[in-house]
């Protein structure tokens, strides 16, 4: 899964990604940047 890293200011691969469900019921992918290790979060489509 690919997401935007705020620290690198570029699209990067999400490492150690796991799918989570937010409070409002939508799904998201949570992980870390493969380059710098900063936490990344990508909101996916509705469940």
Question: Per residue in 9-35, is it b (16+ CB within 10 Å) or e — as a string?
Answer: eeebebeebeeeeeeeeeeebbbbbee
pTM of the model: 0.77
Helix/strand/coil for 29 = strand
Domain that holds residue 21: 2-43
Question: How many domains does the chain divide into?
Answer: 1
Instruction: Please report, in tens digits, the pLDDT of each residue of the chain (47 residues total).
Output: 899 999 999 999 999 999 999 999 999 999 999 899 999 999 998 75
The pLDDT score that the predictor gives to residue 45 is: 82
Question: Would you state the pLDDT for residue 47?
Answer: 57
């Amino acid at each position: 899964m690919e997401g935007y890293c705020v620290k690198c200011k570029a699209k990067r691969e999400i490492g150690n990604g796991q799918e989570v469900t937010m409070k409002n019921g939508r799904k998201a992918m949570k992980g870390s940047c493969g380059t710098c290790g900063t936490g990344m979060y990508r909101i996916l489509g509705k469940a």
